Amino acid sequence: MPYDAALDEKLFSKDYSYEGGKIVVGVFAYNKGQKKLQISRENMNEEGESRFAKLGRMTKDEAIAVIPLMQEALGAM
């Protein structure tokens, strides 16, 4: 069964913006299933459009900024 965006429900979303992009913390439930925490990175290209990027590693400043967002997201779970 392929992924269907119409079945993906966004329950919470907040981001930490920085020069060149942002890190998004969200809570999603697919097909009315278990609520799950998602952390993703979006980088800005030359045209100013955001593009999904692998989160990978975070700097200490990014982690410090994201931890409160994760704690808030837990309240939506």
Residue spans per domain, the chain:
5-75
Cβ 42 vs Cβ 22: under 8 Å: yes
* pLDDT (mean) for 23-31: 97
Give the model's pLDDT for residue 10. Answer: 97
Give the model's pLDDT for residue 46. Answer: 85
Side-by-side strand order, sheet with 8-18: 8-18, 21-30, 35-44, 50-53
Q: Which residue has the tokens 């429900």?
A: 9
pTM: 0.86
CA 48 – CA 1 distance, rounded (Å): 35
Give the model's pLDDT for residue 51. Answer: 93
- How high does pLDDT run on average in the chain? 94
Q: pLDDT tier at 69 (50, 70, 90 boundaries)?
A: very high
Cβ 29 vs Cβ 10: under 8 Å: no
